Structure 1
Amino acid sequence: MSTLHDLAATILSRKGADPESSWTAKLLAKGPEKCAEKFGEEAVEAIIEAVKGDRARLTAEAADVLYHLLVMLAARDVTLADVEAELARREGTSGLAEKAARG
């Protein structure tokens, strides 16, 4: 299993856990909206580090973004496998064509 799959499995195992027992359980207990808000905050922090050009800080923020994306997805019962299936569906399709098809 990959690190992302391991992380997604850990996040899923925290759903319904005591919010005092883990940060992930605490985030999930606050609901999908809070999870989305936290993902947005982390994405902005990653953007800032990308603009600054600090590779180490960008790497750390990117890890935070991936974690919070997986938490947000879990809060809405979307799995990493669901996202991978969507990426596989798009494979071989031009990004420009895919975007145009979405309208």
Structure 2
Amino acid sequence: MGDINLTTIIVALGGGYITYLGTKYSNKASLEKTNTENADVLYRKYQEMVDKLEKKVDKLEAEISDIKNKYEKEIAYYQKLVEELEDENEELKNENAILKGGI
């Protein structure tokens, strides 16, 4: 009878140990799979964020380019206007000098 109890205990311990080993490897594989899935989800989220930021940067670069072109045209317009006014001022000075000299 003692041998039967000992055999039962050994079989139970052996089965428990085998179950432990099987669960250990199964949990490890499950954990690796979960980690891989989580890494994939994070990668997709970060890629989506990067794509959105790239679109925003492209939009801002286009806006900056438009603003730059606008102000370059305005600068050219005002430079031309300044030159015209300087020429007109010079003509008026000459005309004024002639009129003062003629009196």
Q: Larger relative contact order (C-alpha < 8 A, sep ≥ 6)?
A: 1
Give 1 or 2: higher helix fraction: 2
TM-score range, shorter chain: under 0.3
Higher Rg of the two aligned structures: 2
- Provide the TM-score with structure 1 as the length reference: 0.24
